[in-house]
Amino acid sequence: MSNTNLPALKLLLVAAIAIFSGCASVQAPSGYLPGASETQWDVYGGWITVAYSDSGTINTADGEFIGFQDSVVYVLTKSEPVSIRCEDVRSASFDIYSKKTWLFAGWTLLGSVSVLSHGYYAVLSLPLWLLTGIPSTISESLDGRYAENTPTIYWWQSISKFSRFPQGIPKQVDLRELKLKRFSL
Report in angstroms how near the CB of residue 132 gets to another protein at its nearest. Answer: 5
Task: Provide the sign of the torsion angle of the four alpha carbons 122, 124, 125, 131, taken in this order.
Answer: positive
| 31 vs 168 by CB, closer to another protein | 168
Please state at what angle helix 101-114 crosses helix 122-142, rounded to 10 degrees: 180
| 52 vs 181 by CB, closer to another protein | 181
| 52 vs 112 by CB, closer to another protein | 112
Rounded to the nearest 5°, which phi and psi values hold at 69?
A: -155, 135
Report in angstroms how near the CB of residue 149 gets to another protein at its nearest. Answer: 24
Binding site for another protein (CB under 8 A): 1-5, 35-37, 39-41, 43-44, 96-100, 103-104, 106-108, 110-111, 113-121, 123, 125, 128-129, 132-133, 135-136, 139-140, 143-144, 161-162, 164-168, 170, 172-173, 177-179, 181
Report in angstroms how near the CB of residue 157 gets to another protein at its nearest. Answer: 11
CA–CA dist 95, 105 (Å, integer):
19
Number of Cβ within 10 Å of residue 87's Cβ equals 10
| 99 vs 156 by CB, closer to another protein | 99
DSSP states of 91-119 as a string? EEEEE-S---HHHHHHHHHHHHHHGGGGG
